[in-house]
Amino acid sequence: MTNRLIERVSHAGGRPIPDAATGEIIGHTREDSAAALEAMISRGVAAQRSWAALSPHARGMTLHAAAAKVAEYAEELADAVSREQGKPLNGPGARLEVEACQRWLHTNADLELAPEVLVDDAENYSELIYRPVGLVGAIGPWNWPLMIMIWQIAPALKIGNAVIVKPSEYTPLSVQALVSVLNEVLPDGVLQVVVGGPEVGAALPAHPAFGKIMFTGSTRTGKAIIKASAQNVTRLTLELGGNDAGIVLPGTDVRKHAENLFWGAFINTGQTCAALKRLYVHESQYDETVAALAEIANATPMGRGVDEESLLGPLQNRMQFAVVERLVEDAKARGRRIVTGGDPAPELGPNFFRATIVADAEDGDPLVDEEQFGPVLPVIRYADLEDAIARANRLDAALGASVWSDDAQRAREVALRLEAGTVWINKHGGIHPLVPFGGIKGSGYGLEFGFEGLKATGVPVVITSR
């Protein structure tokens, strides 16, 4: 199909953007200069004043209209992200991503932050309110380029900010397409997109005009943002890298949970920050679990994202492909057992790597200790639950974790001891627009989603009288 949104934002003479699955050029992106960013900042600062002057209800109605526009263009947005990012249209893929954009817009549109009364007695009346920070810089990743950008855009707009988004240089066209759709209903200048490489992204946290920077991506880049923003004491929300652990408790009906275990790890072909990336299984059920996961991996169709039957797609770029290949080759060299997969699938395209289950992995293996961010799951055997909990908690990455058991009370007891921003029971990676989400330790700080996420895009102010 001809994608009119890609055609709308494609820039003749700009940098070519390939289809992640085939390498064919799907469009060309502009590359913005420092002067272009300064002009956007000026427009955003001016537009923010009148946007903030509207009532929260009026801003919410505009966000509902924006969600309706996303629905109107849903198939073209899904096609754009499927081609550019590589994720399949179906399953937990591109269509789901576009649906999530609508859901987060609608949810944030309806959130209202009423003044919070802190003290009300004869001597003191104090209340907490939230004001917009002014201009928000939103820096997004390439794995869920539309959905994660909406996570940042929706609350920032609802509270009365203007937003300048900076997409990954790997997935700029789909984000420009999304912004163009939203801007069919938003006031001019309230939402803009700046496009370019790392130097453009670095300019946002260093600029004093931004009251808030929101970033989803690697811990290394997150640390650079902290350093760049320090001079301006800019407020930050950072959702950084994850290396999520899961623990299967003894006595669990593994076959019942196998499908959820698999998709907890392989959603978006493993390219998800809060995916299951290392699985600890009790020795009494180890072989059964490995066999069940391998069976699903072998039965799950992999192919080009726009092919309706595909449920797994390619790695988005050659850089990430090289990371996955290196980690799997290292596992082979260490004598780890490749149960299924373990090599590229060049017959499908240049960036495809087969869904891979690695058994007999050990803590200390690069495949276990590093975030693979691809279609590979190492499965680690344990004998003692205390040891498994300690091993799950030993890394600095602490975005998510999961416990798998048919004993709800026992699962909760273990969940309370895992060090992660979110701990799931009998699922992994599921999110809700009203449930706060964020990392701890090296996986960042600050919360997104719901009332906590809305507050994070504002400035808290205490008003005291009497």
pLDDT at 2: 79
pLDDT at 1: 64
Q: Are residues 25 and 133 in the same domain?
A: yes
DSSP state of 66: H
User: Please, is 445 exposed, middle or buried when counting C-beta atoms within 10 Å of its C-beta (0-12, 13-18, 19+)?
Assistant: middle
Q: Is residue 435 a part of any domain in this protein?
A: no
DSSP state of 134: S
Q: Which two tokens stand for residue 277?
A: 């990336």
Distance CA 67, CA 236 (A): 26
Mean pLDDT of the chain: 97
**Which residue type occupies 206?**
A
Looking only at the bridges linking them, the beta strands covering 116-120 and 125-132 are antiparallel
**What DSSP line would sit under 81-122, residue for residue?**
HHHHH---SSSSSHHHHHHHHHHHHHHHHH-----EEEEESS
Q: Is residue 123 a part of any domain in this protein?
A: yes
Q: Is residue 24 a part of any domain in this protein?
A: yes
Q: Is residue 436 a part of any domain in this protein?
A: no
Name the residue with tokens 């903030």: 52
Q: Which two tokens stand for residue 61?
A: 């109605």
Q: Which residues are catalytic?
A: 239, 273
Q: Are residues 39 and 111 in the same domain?
A: yes
Q: Is residue 201 a part of any domain in this protein?
A: yes
Task: Find out whether 213 and 234 touch, Cβ atoms under 8 Å.
Answer: yes
Q: Are residues 34 and 72 in the same domain?
A: yes
Q: Are residues 78 and 136 in the same domain?
A: yes
Distance CA 181, CA 158 (A): 17
* CATH number of domain containing 277: 3.40.309.10
Model confidence pLDDT, tens digit, residues 18-31: 999 999 999 999 99
Q: Cα Rg for the chain, rounded, in angstroms?
A: 23
pLDDT at 260: 98
CA dihedral 49, 53, 54, 60 (to 10 degrees): 70
pLDDT at 361: 98
pLDDT at 286: 98
Q: Are residues 165 and 296 in the same domain?
A: no
Q: Is residue 398 a part of any domain in this protein?
A: yes
Q: Is residue 433 a part of any domain in this protein?
A: no
Task: Find out whether 344 and 364 touch, Cβ atoms under 8 Å.
Answer: no
DSSP state of 437: B
Task: Report H helices in 86-213.
Answer: 94-110, 145-158, 172-182, 198-206
Q: Is residue 432 a part of any domain in this protein?
A: no
Closest CA to 178 of 1, 5, 2, 3: 5
Mean pLDDT, consecutive 10-residue stretches, the chain (466 aa), reads 91 96 97 95 98 98 98 98 98 97 98 96 96 98 98 98 98 98 98 93 95 96 95 97 97 97 98 98 98 98 97 98 98 98 97 98 98 98 98 97 98 98 98 98 97 97 94
Domain range for 390 is 244-425
pLDDT at 207: 97
Q: Are residues 161 and 30 in the same domain?
A: yes
Q: Are residues 231 and 301 in the same domain?
A: no
| Sheet of 135-139, strands arranged across | 191-193, 162-166, 135-139, 212-216, 235-239, 444-445
Q: Are residues 69 and 114 in the same domain?
A: yes
Q: Are residues 253 and 236 in the same domain?
A: no
Q: How far is CA 344 from CA 73, 347, 351, 360, in A?
A: 34, 9, 8, 21
Q: Are residues 121 and 216 in the same domain?
A: yes
pLDDT at 403: 98
Q: Are residues 186 and 51 in the same domain?
A: yes
Domain count of the fold of the chain: 2
Name the residue with tokens 């920050």: 273
Q: Is 327 helix (H, G, I), strand (E, B) or coil?
A: helix
Q: How many CB atoms lie within 10 A of CB 416?
A: 9
Q: Are residues 188 and 320 in the same domain?
A: no
